[in-house]
Chain A
Amino acid sequence: MNEKTFSEELRAWADINLLNCIGVDECMKACPVADPSLTINDLNESTRDGGKVSAESLKFATDCVQCGRCDPVCPTGASRSVMALRLKEKMVDRGSAPDYHSKYFALKGYDKSWVRRKGFSHAMKTKWKFSDRERARLLAKHIDKEDFAKSEYLFYFGCYIFSKEESTVQTLAIAEKLGIDYEVLGGLTTCCGWPSLMAGRTDEAEIYHKRLSEDVKKSDPKYVVTGCAECFSSLRKIKEKYNMAFTPLTTPMWLNMFDDKLGLLKSDEKVTYHDSCHISRKAGLPKPARDLLGKMNDIVEMKRSGAKDTYCCGYWGLGGDPKIIDGIARSRFEEAKETGADTMIVECITCLEQFNGKEKENPGVKVRDIVEFVYSRMNIE
């Protein structure tokens, strides 16, 4: 069992990676957000313990979304993404770390009383409880729960229970139709810790990880299913860190387990698929979504796709330079268009949020959530 804190581990990893850097610049060439003027020596000096942090490196630290494109291209196998996380920590030391959590709560309806587990969550819960929409009422009972029934499947919706209502409701509808034993974990109290991590607040992220692990334990599931790639990363992290028995699943991995029951309808329409960095590249799981889609449609691949080469959607929800984010989205839409497909399927809620928000400026390709896509093609008796 690893007794080190996340931050201590990170420092040790970053140190060995820094010493291993031989300066060939491949990581920066692969990076979707780095400014070409940022040099490796500046970046390394900024990252190392005791080194001076330059303004250019700070900009990079803020913009880095941890897509991990930098890692497989390094000839020494050094991980720039780990070094970038360490650099993010230094933003905190300098007092210049963005406060994404305030933003996070603001986005979902900020109320300073969130620490008392009230505020927006509470308001939404109350509002949805008395809503005349059935689906709102369905979700309301799951927000910020404290008690969990033991179940085989735990659906971890985290904060996207608020932002992508269709996806969550449809996930539960599929679960109902499949007749599986499930529980739901969602709301603001069980954050996956990603906003903290992206702000360099590693210690804070670790608190969220711990809290998440405790909530998962209460339900003691065999599988934890999530539609968000960042949540999936955190699930993998807590499984390893706290030596937990559950298996983390992405929604396609879960749906693939029931493919014989879903009665998926085939279509001649060609679709393209946008990989999630955290799922395809970091977890090494480019296949499950393709397997699932392959049962319904032919997939035409984008120029940059798959575990090694997939290109980030440019977004993680809260931070980043809008110019860069827009540029990345544009290039992704263009690649999708080049495939000739009219539809781009995404499996990660974050990618979905990014592309949904940019559809108007980039006409010609329709973006669809994999859950919604499956839901529309299901034929369960």
Chain B
Amino acid sequence: MKRYVIIGSGVAGVTAAEELRRRDADAKITIFNNEPFPNYFRAALAFYIKDIVSEEELFGKPPEWAVDNHIHLVNDKVHVIKIGEKEIVTEKGYVEPYDALLIATGASAFKPPVNGASLDGVMTYRTLVCVNRTLDFIRKRRAKTAVLVGGGILGIEMAENLHSLGLDVTVLERGSRIVELLFDETGSSIVKSEMERDGVTVMTSVETDEITGENGIVTGVTLKSGETIPADLVIFAIGVRPVTTILENTLIKVDRGLVVDERMKTNVDGVYGAGDVTLRHENGEMKPCRTWLTAARQGITAAINMTGGDEKFTEIFFNASHVYKSFYAIVGKFNSAEGDGVSHLVLPCCEGGYSKLVFENKKLVGGQFIGAIRHAWQVYHALEQNLDIDPATLSIPEGEELIKGLPALPNHII
């Protein structure tokens, strides 16, 4: 009987466990989880904050999942990985040997070492624990104003959540525009004006100097320019860092993240990685995981290789969710700038929306979408089937109709 150990019960870990079980009915599969909750839908936290989804509804697996799939789910923190002995030891002293180990410890929100970062009311936005803490704080302190440090996708999402709870929200972005990693300038300005229409303040090209406070409780944010913005609540949403503490003092290679190859293997035999903890080395490039879908698929790839298969991870990047109050989706090489063989095709879209296809040497390679996202799936299917799509062969639809010349969506044709 093979023994598989998974550290982390995020989407990469549990998806890997399911794939392991599918491939090996008899194996012993153990997941170590150090969050006080089972696997949950992280991306649904915004819906939880707005009270649309309850805490129970957040959980990604039914309560009987572990039992039904014969998976040992252990709520304990892994303390040491003994590579030589091929076993792990937990903080409670539990020893579990493995034939293959998957590290899927994820990432944690980054709080920069600025003055005042440890004041009460300075939060991050990543886990159910942070969210519950933030909601408690708002209730207890009757917080009225909030500052979001970071104008990335999570910062914007939290800004919307807090705005919907009735707080006055200011977003601080260091760069010259918000959601820079996801959209081009047009996209960013669409999101920005939508926020400003709602009364959310968006400040760009500003840097946080320190967090001010009184009696241990936050009172505002001082910018490098000297300006102070009063706030009852400050949330950092400036990115995440892979959780690699258990890998310290091991031979497993870490370089800003757990280093894995395209088979999700680390440098140590029998040890694999998947999800946000990893940095994938591919053709000299380092690729972080970043999204829910990628994490899940990496979990599957890792599981296939752990059970003796040979599977390379090939990514068709796809990410979709809310940006402020609109749907958005980004696919493939969504953010290549024009020129050097790259051309763009802007589609007529819904009101207040924005859709753009990206071509490299006249071949479709990706797209970005705000508002209507069904075309994003068409692009996904085209990339998945590796179709050679020339912009000249596309018939551009009015509004939200499907693009003719790209694969039709399965659900539109059943």
Among A24, A40, A45, A48, the most chain B Cβ lie within 10 Å of the Cβ of: A24
Whether A45 and B65, one on each chain, are in contact in the complex, defined by CB atoms closer than 8 angstroms, is yes
Whether B411 and A79, one on each chain, are in contact in the complex, defined by CB atoms closer than 8 angstroms, is yes
Among B292, B327, B400, contact of A22 (Cβ-Cβ < 8 Å)? B292
Q: Does A75 contact B (CB under 8 A)?
A: yes
Residues of B within 8 Å of A237, CB to CB, are 413-414
| A233 to B62 alpha-carbon distance, docked (Å) | 34
Whether B47 and A24, one on each chain, are in contact in the complex, defined by CB atoms closer than 8 angstroms, is yes
User: A81 and B411 in contact (CB under 8 A), knowing A41-B60, A75-B327?
Assistant: yes
**Interface-facing stretch out of B50-58, B182-190, B262-270:** B50-58
Among B22, B57, B327, B411, contact of A82 (Cβ-Cβ < 8 Å)? B411
Whether B414 and A284, one on each chain, are in contact in the complex, defined by CB atoms closer than 8 angstroms, is no
Q: Does A35 contact B (CB under 8 A)?
A: no
| A54 to B18 alpha-carbon distance, docked (Å) | 17
**Interface-facing stretch out of B200-208, B220-228, B371-379:** B371-379
Among A24, A50, A79, contact of B44 (Cβ-Cβ < 8 Å)? A24
Binary contact readout B5-41 vs A (1 if CB under 8 angstroms, 0 otherwise)? 0000000000100100110000000000000000011
Residues of B within 8 Å of A71, CB to CB, are 411
Q: Chain B's nearest CB lies how many Å from the CB of A213?
A: 14
Residues of A within 8 Å of B60, CB to CB, are 23, 41, 44
Q: Does B329 contact A (CB under 8 A)?
A: yes
Residues of B within 8 Å of A197, CB to CB, are 414
Q: Does B321 contact A (CB under 8 A)?
A: yes
Binary contact readout A277-304 vs B (1 if CB under 8 angstroms, 0 otherwise)? 0000011100000000000000000000
Taking CB atoms and an 8 Å cut-off, the chain B residues in 50-94 that contact chain A are 52-53, 56-62, 64-65, 68-69
Among A19, A77, A236, contact of B320 (Cβ-Cβ < 8 Å)? A77
Q: Does B43 contact A (CB under 8 A)?
A: yes
| A23 to B47 alpha-carbon distance, docked (Å) | 9
Whether B321 and A22, one on each chain, are in contact in the complex, defined by CB atoms closer than 8 angstroms, is yes
| A237 to B410 alpha-carbon distance, docked (Å) | 9
Residues of A within 8 Å of B41, CB to CB, are 21-24, 40
User: A50 and B18 in contact (CB under 8 A), knowing A22-B43, A22-B44?
Assistant: yes
User: A40 and B414 in contact (CB under 8 A), knowing A20-B318, A22-B43, A76-B320?
Assistant: no
Q: Does B252 contact A (CB under 8 A)?
A: no
By size class, the interface of chain B is 35 or more
Residues of A within 8 Å of B292, CB to CB, are 19-20, 22
Q: Chain A's nearest CB lies how many Å from the CB of B294?
A: 9
Residues of B within 8 Å of A68, CB to CB, are 411
| A279 to B95 alpha-carbon distance, docked (Å) | 59
A28's closest neighbor in chain B, by CB?
Answer: B57
Q: Does A259 contact B (CB under 8 A)?
A: no
Residues of B within 8 Å of A350, CB to CB, are none
A68's closest neighbor in chain B, by CB?
Answer: B411
| A50 to B59 alpha-carbon distance, docked (Å) | 19
Whether A283 and B376, one on each chain, are in contact in the complex, defined by CB atoms closer than 8 angstroms, is no
Whether B408 and A240, one on each chain, are in contact in the complex, defined by CB atoms closer than 8 angstroms, is yes
Taking CB atoms and an 8 Å cut-off, the chain B residues in 366-414 that contact chain A are 373-374, 376-377, 400-402, 408-414
Q: Does B297 contact A (CB under 8 A)?
A: yes
B67's closest neighbor in chain A, by CB?
Answer: A52
Taking CB atoms and an 8 Å cut-off, the chain A residues in 184-207 that contact chain B are 197
Binary contact readout A62-86 vs B (1 if CB under 8 angstroms, 0 otherwise)? 0000101001100111010110010
Among B21, B297, B327, B374, contact of A50 (Cβ-Cβ < 8 Å)? B21
Whether A282 and B413, one on each chain, are in contact in the complex, defined by CB atoms closer than 8 angstroms, is yes
Binary contact readout B116-130 vs A (1 if CB under 8 angstroms, 0 otherwise)? 000000000000000
A52's closest neighbor in chain B, by CB?
Answer: B68
Whether B410 and A79, one on each chain, are in contact in the complex, defined by CB atoms closer than 8 angstroms, is yes
Q: Does A96 contact B (CB under 8 A)?
A: no
Q: Does B293 contact A (CB under 8 A)?
A: yes
Q: Does A372 contact B (CB under 8 A)?
A: no
| A197 to B58 alpha-carbon distance, docked (Å) | 31
Residues of A within 8 Å of B320, CB to CB, are 20, 75-77
| A21 to B44 alpha-carbon distance, docked (Å) | 10
Q: Does B174 contact A (CB under 8 A)?
A: no
Residues of B within 8 Å of A10, CB to CB, are 410
A71's closest neighbor in chain B, by CB?
Answer: B411
Q: Does B322 contact A (CB under 8 A)?
A: yes
Whether A284 and B401, one on each chain, are in contact in the complex, defined by CB atoms closer than 8 angstroms, is yes
Among A21, A24, A52, contact of B53 (Cβ-Cβ < 8 Å)? A24
Whether B15 and A25, one on each chain, are in contact in the complex, defined by CB atoms closer than 8 angstroms, is no
User: A23 and B327 in contact (CB under 8 A), knowing A76-B320, A282-B413?
Assistant: no
Q: Does A42 contact B (CB under 8 A)?
A: yes
Q: Does B296 contact A (CB under 8 A)?
A: yes
| A76 to B297 alpha-carbon distance, docked (Å) | 16
Residues of A within 8 Å of B47, CB to CB, are 24-25
A46's closest neighbor in chain B, by CB?
Answer: B62
Q: Chain A's nearest CB lies how many Å from the CB of B328?
A: 9
| A48 to B57 alpha-carbon distance, docked (Å) | 18
Residues of A within 8 Å of B376, CB to CB, are 77
Residues of B within 8 Å of A81, CB to CB, are 411, 414
Residues of A within 8 Å of B43, CB to CB, are 22-24
Q: Chain B's nearest CB lies how many Å from the CB of A3?
A: 12
Residues of A within 8 Å of B65, CB to CB, are 41, 45
Binary contact readout A229-243 vs B (1 if CB under 8 angstroms, 0 otherwise)? 000010011001000
Whether A236 and B413, one on each chain, are in contact in the complex, defined by CB atoms closer than 8 angstroms, is yes
Binary contact readout A19-59 vs B (1 if CB under 8 angstroms, 0 otherwise)? 11111110000000000000111101100111110100000
Whether A49 and B22, one on each chain, are in contact in the complex, defined by CB atoms closer than 8 angstroms, is yes
| A52 to B22 alpha-carbon distance, docked (Å) | 12
A197's closest neighbor in chain B, by CB?
Answer: B414
Q: Does A329 contact B (CB under 8 A)?
A: no
Among A25, A77, A233, contact of B413 (Cβ-Cβ < 8 Å)? A233
User: A75 and B322 in contact (CB under 8 A), knowing A19-B296, A40-B57?
Assistant: yes
B56's closest neighbor in chain A, by CB?
Answer: A39
| A82 to B60 alpha-carbon distance, docked (Å) | 19
Residues of B within 8 Å of A72, CB to CB, are 374
| A71 to B400 alpha-carbon distance, docked (Å) | 14
Q: Does A13 contact B (CB under 8 A)?
A: yes
Whether A282 and B412, one on each chain, are in contact in the complex, defined by CB atoms closer than 8 angstroms, is yes
Among B42, B57, B411, the most chain A Cβ lie within 10 Å of the Cβ of: B411
Residues of B within 8 Å of A48, CB to CB, are 18
Could you show 12 A-B contacts with beta carbons less than 8 Å apart? Answer: A22-B44, A25-B53, A40-B41, A41-B59, A44-B60, A50-B21, A50-B69, A54-B62, A72-B374, A77-B374, A237-B413, A282-B411
Q: Beyond the given A20-B293, A22-B44, A82-B411, could you list 12 further A-B residue pairs with CB under 8 A, ordered by the A residue number?
A: A13-B410, A19-B297, A22-B41, A22-B292, A23-B60, A24-B47, A39-B57, A40-B57, A51-B18, A54-B62, A76-B329, A236-B413
List the 5 shortest-distance A-B pairs measured between CB atoms, nearest first: A23-B41, A22-B43, A79-B411, A76-B320, A19-B296
